[in-house]
Chains A and B, each alone.
Chain A
Amino acid sequence: MTTRSPPSIRNAIHEVLSSMRFAISLLVVLAIASIIGTVLKQNEPYPNYLFEFGTYWFGVFRLLGLFDVYHSIWFLVILLFLVLSTSLCIVRHSPSMLREMHSFRERTTLSSLRQFRFRREYVTVLEPVQVSSLLCLTLADFGYKCRTQSRKSGQFVAAKRGSLNRLGYIFTHMAIIIICLGGLIDGNIPLKLQQFFGIKHIETRNMPESQVPEASRLGPNNLSFRGDVSIPEGSSADVVFLNVGKGYLVQDLPFVVSVKKFIIKYYSTGQPRLFASDLVVRDKQTGKSKAVRLEVNHPLDMDGVDIYQSSFGDGGSHLHFQVWPLSGTSVQPAALKGIVKQHDPIVIRGHPYTVEFDNFRSFNVEDLSQGVKPPSGGFMQDMRQALSLTGANNKDLKNVGPSVEFKLRDAQGQAHEYLNYMLPIKLGGHLYLLSGMRTNPGAGYQYIRFPLDDEGSIKAFMLLRAHLDDPSAALHIGLQFAKKSLAGTSEQQAMVPKLAQISASVLALFRQGGYDALAGFISKDVPKNEQVNAAKTYLKVLQGTALEALDESLPAGVTIKDKMAFVEDSLNAMNDRFLYGPPVYLQLDNYRLVMATGLQMTRAPGKFFVYFGSLCLVLGIFAMFYIRERRVFIYAGSDGKVLFSMSATRQTFDAQSEFENLAAKLGDVLIEKGR
């Protein structure tokens, strides 16, 4: 179809750009480029990449724009080439396509008809004119349009159907261009340019929105944008934040969004069923406001800006804690108030700390399907183990109540991170308060379990702990324990002081370093072959002593059903505190929930192009594959010979059978009418 003009560089370039090979290469290159962006996580904070790839590769990847492939210059260039190639292709082919669409190819000669693969000859007694009009009628039945021509020695019929097939090509390729254009409009090229010329400046500092300088703000008339904002219940916002590179820009909105309430509803099985926000949106210009409920999958269109329910989080819930000391003889909890996302100073045993309230969840769904096994060993447990949270399926989800995540940071900046549950959790028939701790943000939490009395209070444990931690009480408890254990013969009674002594020193060891201290003592001071027995004995003594201490410390009216288990759990918890960080337990005892809703707002005028282009694309592809162009030529000679030939753009199986079908039908018609 192409005519070769004298070679020149321009022609050569044009030739390459509009060539099929180039188009296919582009498609493949685009595919590969796209893969990169899915393999490498995009738009993460830079430190993450630095950590993952090291300085060298980080530098290389950043230079190549691999952290934001789809907005990099080279990706854009590929897309531009795609548009260019497709446009050239359209320009080149459309005229001839349109011509072809209308043409019946009436100039086709008899001799070329004889070359067709699909052809058949008939003999008839009918006149050529009769033949042509008869067959045209039949062809019309099959959807053909006919042109008849008188030639020297007979009648010539040219017919065709499915010409729209050619439009398919134009539609498809136009669609690609239109879609890419739409994408470009909604893309970030204008922003890139403004950044390039220094008109806009990306803000990287963490500061209140009102203080962000003008150079990092975009006016409400900005053509297209996509940003997020998180608004606590009871507050409002008139901006969104656009994530750009390693910083952000502030986009001013033409309206103010106030959040009345964020709503989550759950299925009976525990999975979330509904996320919604009750909003009031006030137009700044007209001052008119309207109240709406925004749900996932049901965005709100406000002056061409679409508002979406995109996330939710804590908007600064008020928390109330009892701060229990985990060492020393005091049992008095101190009250502590906090607000999520805020930091407060706190003094623990004379040292200054900061407590950072990171996250609060009023509803925790955990899978308890496998039944709850008591954690083995008694040492800190991973949550999964502690609650036997196995598998993702077969769920038996339970709400285990509110939880709070916070950090205790010391003066040197070292932090312990905690996850505390507010409600008691039943494990192996006993109630506990769970508190998870970790020092490495990437690691899983290790759990400490505080046993509770029959009323579900932690007080009994705290009293017991304080009693055991009181060195001045140790001898007394030891003596009581020894007396009770050796209440029998006088011989036994003679041993009492010795046992009391042992009990007190075991307790002292345990107080200083938990089970490890005991084990250390045994491995140092007890002969090898007696160590196992000694360990058992010491543990028994420890437990017995603690049981005694429990009896002494338990206030009147407080009951514990299984005291032995309680004592074991208490000792475990006391042991675990050595790994737990600063010696306090922050028991969450009350809260007032304040949610924040995460809204995404976009203005994307390009979408109309994209949708229109998509429609063209579907129509075009349909036309190209499923409207098949067929041309039929018939020559009815005055000698009674009729030549029928057919051509198809794609000589598939269907063309063959269609030809057979049509040829038979035409033959029938000729025979029937010629009788």
Chain B
Amino acid sequence: MELVQNLKTSSLKKLHLGDWGYAFAWLAACFFVLERFGSGMNGFSKGILLFATIGFIGLGWFWKPFRLMVVITAGLSLFAIHEYHGQIASADQVFWLKYFLGSQTAIMWMSFLFVLATCIYWVALLGRSEFSGKLASTLTWCAVVMGLVGMATRWYVSYLLGPNIGHIPLSNLYEVFILFSFMTALFYLYYEDRYLSYEMGAFVLLVISAAIGFLLWYTFDRHANGIEPLVPALQSYWMKIHVPANFVGYGSFSLSAMVGVAYLLKSKGILSDRLPDLALMEDVMYKSIAIGFLFFTIATILGALWAAQAWGGYWSWDPKETWALIVWLNYAAWLHMRLIKGVRGPVLAWWSIGGLMVTTFAFLGVNMFLSGLHSYGKL
């Protein structure tokens, strides 16, 4: 990744005290976990922990604002977990949990903040207001933090439900929609920070708000927010890496499609004096598809490895698998068009919007309309 390049070109010399402090905190936390819970972890868990630690240190070094978010999230999560005092009922009794940090409450806050941020991004775009842009950006950061805290507490709470029930909250549609929301937001925040442009937020946050809409419907209409124990097919380590990798892909693809919308508007002369340069948006589109494609490839391969273990074959042409392949082929074609044919402009923007349709179908439509082996989140 650019990360590697950055580290190589600038070498470690460029790191400041804060970076070392951040890394040290991660290592300390990792060490603490190994020390305290190591006996209950197997090699695989330890591997993931180590890998995650290194990954998060790297991310923080590469993109500085990330460090602050991690620190705040960790602080709030630990505080919330402490406040639970090992009792699920605390969520309704303890003030902080009831109104801010309880897993369900935090997720509601995340939802609210995302929708609010979307509105303010639009205010910023239409009113050309730098201040509103900054405000919206801050709100988005807060939403991400709340989402992460919600996930962390949910993870913790699942262990309070009963013996053997606890598991990482990546096991059903409800949980992955939260994942999708804050992942996409984080990607966006990165580009925003990098290109110093708030304008695309108005578009990217729309897709997040749509996800939030779904999440709320799913919560209130379907009561899907309960924590369910894992059925045997989902009791696998692969789930813990396959699912997040997939959502890096989905998030990036959605982001690029929404930037594609902005691109098309601008090239048609709509909002053209407010939106960033076409070249800039094109660059964001490409970058986010590239990273999405890499992770989606990895996710699909991990899926195949998991399938080989759970279903007896790395590839069964199960609808979800097949649609993952379709998504993959679609973006492979996109990348060929851009990198080799040198195609630029609206065609690619349209294509990436089409890509979002395909991706959405692979993500949701398959669960809704097609039946298969995936025991994951039937609607």
Q: Enumerate chain A interface residues (CB-CB to B < 8 A).
A: 20, 23-24, 27-28, 30-31, 34-35, 37-39, 41-42, 69-70, 141-143, 183, 186, 226, 267-269, 271-275, 295-299, 306, 308, 310, 391-395, 600-602, 604, 607, 610-611, 614, 617-618, 621-622, 625-628, 650, 652-654
Q: Which residues of chain A have C-beta atoms less than 8 A from B337's C-beta?
A: 24
Q: Which residues of chain B have C-beta atoms less than 8 A from A618's C-beta?
A: 294, 297-298, 301
Of B15-23, B48-56, B61-69, B306-314, the one contacting chain A is: B306-314
Query: Are B222 and A391 in contact, CB atoms less than 8 angstroms apart?
Result: yes
Q: Tell me the chain B residues, 274-324 only, with Cβ under 8 Å from chain A.
A: 279-280, 283, 286-287, 290-291, 293-294, 297-298, 301, 304-305, 308-315, 317, 319, 322-323
The verdict on B165 contacting chain A, using a C-beta distance below 8 Å, is yes
The verdict on B236 contacting chain A, using a C-beta distance below 8 Å, is yes
Query: Are B333 and A393 in contact, CB atoms less than 8 angstroms apart?
Result: no
A-B CB contact pairs (8 Å), 26 listed: A20-B341, A24-B333, A27-B329, A27-B330, A27-B332, A141-B9, A143-B8, A267-B164, A267-B165, A273-B232, A296-B232, A297-B232, A297-B235, A299-B309, A308-B312, A391-B222, A393-B223, A600-B311, A604-B314, A611-B314, A618-B294, A618-B297, A621-B297, A625-B294, A626-B4, A626-B294
Known contacts A299-B309, A610-B314; is A271 also within 8 Å of B229 by CB? yes
CA distance A190 to B60 in the complex (A): 52
A355 to chain B minimum Cβ distance, whole angstroms, is 32
Given A34-B325, A610-B314, 7 new contacts (CB under 8 A):
A38-B319, A271-B228, A271-B229, A273-B229, A626-B2, A626-B4, A652-B287
Q: Which residues of chain A have C-beta atoms less than 8 A from B371's C-beta?
A: 41
Among B223, B310, B312, contact of A391 (Cβ-Cβ < 8 Å):
B223
Q: Which residues of chain B have C-beta atoms less than 8 A from A654's C-beta?
A: 2
Would you give the 0/1 interface string for B230-244, flagging 1 where the beta carbon is closer than 8 Å to chain A?
011101100000000
A100 to chain B minimum Cβ distance, whole angstroms, is 15
Known contacts A393-B223, A393-B224; is A628 also within 8 Å of B325 by CB? no
Query: Are A617 and B301 in contact, CB atoms less than 8 angstroms apart?
Result: yes
Query: Are B336 and A20 in contact, CB atoms less than 8 angstroms apart?
Result: yes
B236 to chain A minimum Cβ distance, whole angstroms, is 5
Q: Which residues of chain B have C-beta atoms less than 8 A from A626's C-beta?
A: 1-2, 4-5, 294
Q: Which residues of chain A have C-beta atoms less than 8 A from B341's C-beta?
A: 20, 24
Among B312, B325, B336, contact of A306 (Cβ-Cβ < 8 Å):
B312
The verdict on B43 contacting chain A, using a C-beta distance below 8 Å, is no
Query: Are A653 and B330 in contact, CB atoms less than 8 angstroms apart?
Result: no
CA distance A263 to B325 in the complex (A): 36
Known contacts A267-B164, A299-B309, A602-B313; is A621 also within 8 Å of B229 by CB? no
Q: Enumerate chain B interface residues (CB-CB to A < 8 A).
A: 1-2, 4-5, 8-9, 11, 162-165, 195, 222-224, 226, 228-229, 231-233, 235-236, 279-280, 283, 286-287, 290-291, 293-294, 297-298, 301, 304-305, 308-315, 317, 319, 322-323, 325-326, 329-330, 332-333, 336-337, 339-341, 366, 370-371, 378
Q: Which residues of chain A have C-beta atoms less than 8 A from B235's C-beta?
A: 296-297
A224 to chain B minimum Cβ distance, whole angstroms, is 10
Residue among B305, B326, B337, B341 facing the most chain A CB atoms (10 A cut-off):
B326
Among A141, A394, A602, contact of B312 (Cβ-Cβ < 8 Å):
A602
Known contacts A20-B341, A34-B322, A622-B294; is A28 also within 8 Å of B232 by CB? no
Known contacts A295-B232, A394-B226, A607-B314; is A38 also within 8 Å of B323 by CB? yes
Query: Are A653 and B309 in contact, CB atoms less than 8 angstroms apart?
Result: no
A295 to chain B minimum Cβ distance, whole angstroms, is 7
Q: Which residues of chain B have C-beta atoms less than 8 A from A393's C-beta?
A: 222-224, 226
CA distance A649 to B86 in the complex (A): 57
B156 to chain A minimum Cβ distance, whole angstroms, is 18
Q: Which residue of A lies closest to B341 (CB)?
A: A20
Query: Are B312 and A392 in contact, CB atoms less than 8 angstroms apart?
Result: no
CA distance A650 to B310 in the complex (A): 42
Known contacts A267-B165, A394-B226, A621-B294; is A275 also within 8 Å of B232 by CB? yes
CA distance A280 to B295 in the complex (A): 41
A272 to chain B minimum Cβ distance, whole angstroms, is 6
Residue among B235, B309, B314 facing the most chain A CB atoms (10 A cut-off):
B314
Q: Which residue of A lies closest to B290 (CB)?
A: A625
A644 to chain B minimum Cβ distance, whole angstroms, is 17
Q: Which residue of A lies closest to B289 (CB)?
A: A625
Query: Are B232 and A652 in contact, CB atoms less than 8 angstroms apart?
Result: no
Query: Are B336 and A38 in contact, CB atoms less than 8 angstroms apart?
Result: no
Query: Are A604 and B229 in contact, CB atoms less than 8 angstroms apart?
Result: no
Task: Please give me the 10 A-B residue pairs with the lowest Cβ-Cβ distance, nearest first.
Answer: A296-B232, A308-B312, A38-B319, A600-B312, A393-B223, A614-B301, A27-B333, A267-B229, A31-B329, A625-B290
Q: Which residue of B lies closest to A310 (CB)?
A: B312
Q: Which residues of chain A have C-beta atoms less than 8 A from B165's C-beta?
A: 267-269
B185 to chain A minimum Cβ distance, whole angstroms, is 22
Query: Are A269 and B309 in contact, CB atoms less than 8 angstroms apart?
Result: no
Query: Are B310 and A297 in contact, CB atoms less than 8 angstroms apart?
Result: yes
Q: Which residue of A lies closest to B300 (CB)?
A: A614
CA distance A610 to B319 in the complex (A): 20
Query: Are A23 and B312 in contact, CB atoms less than 8 angstroms apart?
Result: no
B1 to chain A minimum Cβ distance, whole angstroms, is 5
B344 to chain A minimum Cβ distance, whole angstroms, is 11
Query: Are A653 and B280 in contact, CB atoms less than 8 angstroms apart?
Result: yes
CA distance A34 to B325 in the complex (A): 8
A643 to chain B minimum Cβ distance, whole angstroms, is 22
CA distance A243 to B377 in the complex (A): 28
Among A38, A42, A183, A628, contact of B366 (Cβ-Cβ < 8 Å):
A38
Q: Which residues of chain A have C-beta atoms less than 8 A from B370's C-beta?
A: 38-39
Query: Are B290 and A226 in contact, CB atoms less than 8 angstroms apart?
Result: no
Q: Which residues of chain B have C-beta atoms less than 8 A from A275's C-beta?
A: 232
Known contacts A273-B229, A650-B339; is A28 also within 8 Å of B329 by CB? yes
Query: Are B162 and A297 in contact, CB atoms less than 8 angstroms apart?
Result: no
Query: Are B330 and A31 in contact, CB atoms less than 8 angstroms apart?
Result: yes
Residue among B229, B279, B336 facing the most chain A CB atoms (10 A cut-off):
B229
Among A35, A69, A296, A610, contact of B310 (Cβ-Cβ < 8 Å):
A296
Q: Which residues of chain A have C-beta atoms less than 8 A from B322's C-beta?
A: 34-35, 37-38
Q: Which residues of chain A have C-beta atoms less than 8 A from B378's C-beta?
A: 392
Q: Which residue of A lies closest to B280 (CB)?
A: A653
Query: Are A20 and B340 in contact, CB atoms less than 8 angstroms apart?
Result: yes
Among B226, B297, B313, contact of A226 (Cβ-Cβ < 8 Å):
B313
